[in-house]
Amino acid sequence: MLLGLACPKGMLALMELRHLRYFVAVAEEQNVTRAAARLHVSQPPLSRQIRDLEEELGVALFERSAKSVRLTDAGRVFLEEARAVLQRAGEAVQTVKAVSSGEKGEIHVGYAPSLTVQILPKTLRTFQENAPGIRVHLHDFSTEEMLASLRANKLHVALMIAPSEKLLRGLRFVELHRYALCVAAHPAHPCARGRKVSLADIANERFIAYSRADYPEYHEMLAALFKKLGRVPHIAEEHDSSTSLIAAIEAGRGVALVPESLGCLTGERLKLRSLSPAPAPLLVGLLFRDSGTSAATQKFIASAQAANRK
């Protein structure tokens, strides 16, 4: 009975775009028969559709005489309205096609700042050339946030260090660059003397680290590295950004293991020394969902690979 009120079943056939298309044709031709020809339908159904539309609206759109139809004042107004609706619908289709094909749209890109200082600018430049219609939103996120945002569809792609296998479920990683792990120390520090340093040389140092809360995998990596020597590194401080970590080392408060890319940020304030024997390098690249990647995202991935090839 509620249904009966809300929807009188057979009575009320809702207005459709077809009615508007037909109406516009008839209004423009001022003649049902010509409009029917233009629409590739025959005249009687067209007459009926117009009548249905008028009933649905409860408004007479045409004045009818035996020989002609002519718009009423209301019909003239509705002609403008109908044209606007049809145009809006057409624009909607065009827009979604453009988005789908990657001509327009936006993507959200997460990035780990200190790891991507060399990679990100090149990538953005190439992407801008390949997909000028896409607006890029950059998000400086921690690894944790990247993973969560990628899964929640808040992020389309992340420029970051390769996550461990366990964290990768449903995501794909594409390597762009490898960075050796280095010791970063104050220029006056003993480590800064030779060209190379072994883990044993620094096993007793105070370590400056990235914060465990934001970068748990950094701590795992550190622990795993020294476990081979049967040692546990002494983590004296934790920092949540590279800038403050660099400042702490420059102040002589300890040393740190960092990717060689950090050299771009330290300048001459710190010395970076390679480790010998060299541990596994850090893999930096793109992370993204392995299904449902939009055209824009795919273009971004391709641009990143092209920009960092060689």
Partner DNA sequence: CCGGCGGAAATATCATGTTGCTTGGCTTAG
Partner DNA sequence: CTAAGCCAAGCAACATGATATTTCCGCCGG
**Residues at the site binding a copy of itself, with contacts judged by CB under 8 A:** 3, 6-7, 14-18, 20, 40, 57-61, 63, 70, 72-74, 77-78, 81-82, 84-85, 88-89, 91-93, 95-97, 99-100, 105, 153, 156, 291-292, 294, 296
Q: Does 151 bind DNA (CB under 7 A)?
A: no
Bridge partners of 181, per DSSP, are 259
Handedness of CA 287, 155, 123, 95 (dihedral sign): positive
Question: How many Cβ atoms sit within 10 Å of the Cβ of residue 68?
Answer: 11
For residues 13 to 32, the per-residue mask of contacts with DNA, x marking binding by CB under 7 A and - elsewhere, is: x--x-x------------xx
Token pair belonging to 280: 């596994």
Closest approach of a copy of itself to the CB of residue 14, in Å = 7
Residue 6 binding target from a copy of itself, DNA, none, CB below 5 to 8 Å by type: a copy of itself
Handedness of CA 147, 148, 150, 155 (dihedral sign): negative
Taking a C-beta distance cutoff of 8 angstroms, is the pair 294, 96 a contact? no
Closest approach of DNA to the CB of residue 152, in Å = 15
Q: Per CB under 7 A, which region of 41-49, 98-106, 231-239, 260-268 contacts DNA?
A: 41-49
Q: Report the distance separating Cα 176 and Cα 173, nearest Å.
A: 10
Residue 137 binding target from DNA, a copy of itself, none, CB below 5 to 8 Å by type: none
Number of residues that bind DNA (CB under 7 A): 26
Q: Does 10 bind DNA (CB under 7 A)?
A: yes
- In this complex, which beta carbon is closest to DNA, that of residue 85 or of residue 236? 85
Residue 251 binding target from DNA, a copy of itself, none, CB below 5 to 8 Å by type: none
Rounded to 10 degrees, the C-alpha dihedral 200/202/203/207 comes to -160
Taking a C-beta distance cutoff of 8 angstroms, is the pair 273, 193 a contact? no
Q: Does 33 bind DNA (CB under 7 A)?
A: yes
H-assigned helices in 203-287: 216-227, 242-250, 263-266
Residue 96 binding target from a copy of itself, DNA, none, CB below 5 to 8 Å by type: a copy of itself
Closest approach of DNA to the CB of residue 53, in Å = 9
- In this complex, which beta carbon is closest to DNA, that of residue 22 or of residue 179? 22
| Among 261, 263, 245, 242, CA closest to 253 | 245
Could you give phi then psi for residue 244, rounded to 5 degrees? -75, -30
Q: Report the distance separating Cα 219 and Cα 227, nearest Å.
A: 12
Residues at the interface with DNA (CB under 7 A):
10, 13, 16, 18, 31-33, 40-45, 47-52, 62, 64-69
